[in-house]
Amino acid sequence: MSYIGERIDFYMGRIKSGRVQEMWRQTKWIYSYAKKYWIAMIFYTVLGLSGTVVALLSSLVSKDLVDIITGHQAGELAKTFAIMIGIAVFSIVISQFTSYASSWISLKVNNEIRSHIFEKILITDWESLTNYHTGDLLTRWSSDASAISDGVLSYIPNLIINLFRFFSAFAMVIYYDATFAIFALLGIPFSLLMSKTLLTRMQNNNQKSAAMSAKMSGFNQETFSNIQTIKAFDLVRLYTERLKQLQSDYLNMRMEFSRMSIWTSIILGMVGLLVSYSSYGWGIYRVWSGVISYGTMTMFLSLSGTLTGAVNSLSSMIPSAISLTTSAGRLMDIIEMPQEDYSRLDEAKHFLEMHRDSGVSLTIDSLDYSYQSGTEVFHGASFEGHPHEIIGLVGPSGEGKTTMLRLLLSLLPAHAGDAKISAADGSTLPLSPSTRQFFSYVPQGNTMLSGTIAENMRNVKPDATDEEIIEALKLACAYDFVSKLKDGINSEIKERGGGFSEGQAQRLSIARALLRKSPILLLDEASSALDITTERKVLKNIMADTYPRLCIVTTHRPTVLTLCNRVYAIRDKACDILSEDEIEHLIKDF
């Protein structure tokens, strides 16, 4: 009694601790994807059930066959034999058909989950997302999504099929000789016992294994994209050792799992043997005492196999439910992060169309912002900019220049204050992810993507002609080196802008931003790798362009400041406008 009480307390504790509730929530999430495929699931279930029926029929026919041979029963040997062969062939076809159908469905679900997660990742709040390593995101997106799609469709059908297998075989046993039922049930307590031990271990192992895979994938990804740094610091040996360490940890964990599985299989196998042999012994005894025929005994032996198989399959469904829900939980972590609000996209599009030709102003008023880590960057920051202006943002490293540009792009959400775009007719639009279409951005660092130069350019303006691309490259002083390349604008750029110098990549990045022809251009130290002459030439070209662009540049370079209409210093969490004298000082002090 006290044991039962303990058990009840244990399960109640689990329910209260939210573990079961969590699993239920994850299960519902999984089926929100799978439910679309209910027809396929029914189809899959029917196929599985017919497989079971065929297996039962073949037990029955084999009984007849043995009984005919042993003269216990009259019947046509050839005909019964033919039926048996027919059933065997049919069952091969059914099982192949089932596996074809299930792989089709699982690939469909896999694609759907992955494209959904992919989209979700892209619209997730950027700062929340940066808490995850890209390797971790990649593992969740690939392995966890696959785990779900592989299991999701087969789960309910398999449950139904195995229950059906169990009860139908059991009914047949009882129909022909109820005493056999005892032997058939012999294995069940063992199977249940095994699955209970497996349950907790599986859950832990699953979580550890997922975390480990994510760590490895992050490590590899980071290593491969920083080979130059690793070589330069002579870290090849260290990194190789680190990988080996990770691999050995992974190996140990998997082997522990493997040992666990082996023990389970050995015990379940022994139980299976015990069940088979005791059924066998009991069968011989029953035949010997003349209660049943040889055929019936053959049938029982095959049914006892079916029953043990069904019980084992049912008990193995518990660990697989755990691994499915673990994966679901890992994907839900991502999906449930705060998401960006694109609800004003159409309005912003309309606003842009109305005012593209006259340009827009930007007003930032008393903006507050702190990173989630707690670093307060702005408190009451204000500035403004208008078409045809170049606004300079200066300040020491780490003051918040890049952060301000991220706020303008709504990559970060301001905590207080007012940030809006306004047009000459007085209409305004608050900054939000929907207003990103007003901006072109040249970020700090090399941000060209792999593909040709033209492809990179057309990423931001799909219908750009070659002439337009060349024009933008010329404005950014990039065409002089691009034109010398063998393939011109169709030359390949490697991953992360590889194959070009830092300054060349910067000019390509500026050209890309200019091609987009947005009313506001943000340049984050965008000309830092250029020599002074080229830098001034690029900025003059941008200014000379008749397009009513507002240009916001962050810089440490004094040469740029003389070209600015206004310069703001980012200091003490605010933006202070600098006087002519202050700017001159700044230039002199440089």
Ligand X SMILES: Nc1ncnc2c1ncn2[C@@H]1O[C@H](COP(=O)(O)OP(=O)(O)OP(=O)(O)O)[C@@H](O)[C@H]1O
Nearer to ligand X, 275 or 405 (CB): 405
- 528 is a site residue for ligand X (CB under 6 A): no
The interface partner of residue 399, options being Mg ion, ligand X, none and the CB cut-off 5 to 8 Å by kind, is: ligand X
Q: Using the structure block, give the residue that is written with the tokens 């260290």.
A: 238
Judged by CB under 6 A, which stretch of 101-109, 150-158, 292-300, 368-376 contacts ligand X?
368-376
Of these, 65, 399, 552, 561, which contacts ligand X (CB under 6 A)? 399
The interface partner of residue 590, options being ligand X, Mg ion, none and the CB cut-off 5 to 8 Å by kind, is: none
Nearer to ligand X, 130 or 240 (CB): 130
Judged by CB under 6 A, which stretch of 233-241, 284-292, 398-406, 413-421 contacts ligand X?
398-406
Radius of gyration of the chain (CA): 35
Q: E strands along 300-412, which residues?
A: 361-370, 376-385, 390-394
Contact 256, 205 (CB under 8 A): yes
Residues 541-570 that bind ligand X (CB under 6 A): none
What are the tokens at 47?
């196929």
- 590 is a site residue for ligand X (CB under 6 A): no
- The count of C-alpha atoms lying within 13 angstroms of the C-alpha of 455, restricted to the half-sphere facing its C-beta, is 11
Residues 429-448 that bind ligand X (CB under 6 A): 444
Give 165-234 as a 3 state SS string.
HHHHHHHHHHHHCCHHHHHHHCCHHHHHHHHHHHHHHHHHHHHHHHHHHHHHHHHHHHHHHCHHHHHHCC
Number of residues lying near ligand X (CB under 6 A): 14
Alpha-carbon gap, residue 461 to 472, rounded angstroms? 12
Estimate the crossing angle of helix 2-16 against helix 19-34, to 10 degrees: 60
**CB of 143: closest distance to Mg ion in angstroms?**
35
Number of residues lying near Mg ion (CB under 5 A): 2
Nearer to Mg ion, 202 or 381 (CB): 381
- 51 is a site residue for ligand X (CB under 6 A): no
**CB of 376: closest distance to ligand X in angstroms?**
9
- 32 is a site residue for ligand X (CB under 6 A): no
Contact 413, 442 (CB under 8 A): no
What are the tokens at 40?
């396929």
Using CB atoms, what's the residue nearest to Mg ion?
402
Alpha-carbon gap, residue 140 to 214, rounded angstroms? 8
**CB of 397: closest distance to ligand X in angstroms?**
3
**CB of 524: closest distance to Mg ion in angstroms?**
6
Contact 314, 156 (CB under 8 A): no
Alpha-carbon gap, residue 344 to 285, rounded angstroms? 81
Of these, 375, 427, 501, 562, which contacts ligand X (CB under 6 A)? 375
Nearer to Mg ion, 401 or 557 (CB): 401
**CB of 139: closest distance to Mg ion in angstroms?**
30
Alpha-carbon gap, residue 117 to 332, rounded angstroms? 9
**CB of 417: closest distance to Mg ion in angstroms?**
21
Of these, 395, 433, 497, 519, which contacts ligand X (CB under 6 A)? 395
Phi and psi at residue 563, to the nearest 5°: -90, -10
**CB of 411: closest distance to Mg ion in angstroms?**
13
Residues 124-153 that bind ligand X (CB under 6 A): 130
**CB of 432: closest distance to ligand X in angstroms?**
20
Nearer to Mg ion, 150 or 535 (CB): 535
Contact 530, 488 (CB under 8 A): no
The interface partner of residue 377, options being Mg ion, ligand X, none and the CB cut-off 5 to 8 Å by kind, is: ligand X
**CB of 362: closest distance to Mg ion in angstroms?**
19
Could you tell me which residues come within 8 angstroms of residue 185 by beta carbon, excluding any fewer than 6 positions away? none
Judged by CB under 5 A, which stretch of 101-109, 300-308, 396-404, 459-467 contacts Mg ion?
396-404
Judged by CB under 5 A, which stretch of 203-211, 262-270, 393-401, 455-463 contacts Mg ion?
393-401
Contact 170, 309 (CB under 8 A): no
Judged by CB under 6 A, which stretch of 85-93, 311-319, 400-408, 460-468 contacts ligand X?
400-408
Nearer to Mg ion, 63 or 406 (CB): 406
- 401 is a site residue for ligand X (CB under 6 A): yes
Of these, 123, 371, 480, 498, which contacts ligand X (CB under 6 A)? 371
Phi and psi at residue 419, to the nearest 5°: -135, 120
Nearer to Mg ion, 488 or 558 (CB): 558
Residues 64-123 that bind Mg ion (CB under 5 A): none
Strand order in the sheet with 390-394: 439-442, 520-524, 550-554, 390-394, 566-571, 574-577
Q: What is the DSSP string of 55-103?
A: HHHHHHHHHHHHHHHTTSS---HHHHHHHHHHHHHHHHHHHHHHHHHHH
- 402 is a site residue for ligand X (CB under 6 A): yes
**CB of 375: closest distance to ligand X in angstroms?**
5
Nearer to ligand X, 32 or 373 (CB): 373
**CB of 396: closest distance to ligand X in angstroms?**
7
Phi and psi at residue 226, to the nearest 5°: -125, 30
Strand partners, 385: 362
- 210 is a site residue for ligand X (CB under 6 A): no
The interface partner of residue 546, options being Mg ion, ligand X, none and the CB cut-off 5 to 8 Å by kind, is: none
- 402 is a site residue for Mg ion (CB under 5 A): yes
**Is residue 537 classed exposed, middle or buried when 0-12, 13-18 and 19+ CB atoms within 10 A define those classes?**
middle
DSSP SS3 for 361: strand
**CB of 398: closest distance to ligand X in angstroms?**
4
Chain residues in the site for Mg ion (CB under 5 A) = 401-402
Chain residues in the site for ligand X (CB under 6 A) = 130, 371, 373, 375, 377, 395, 397-403, 444
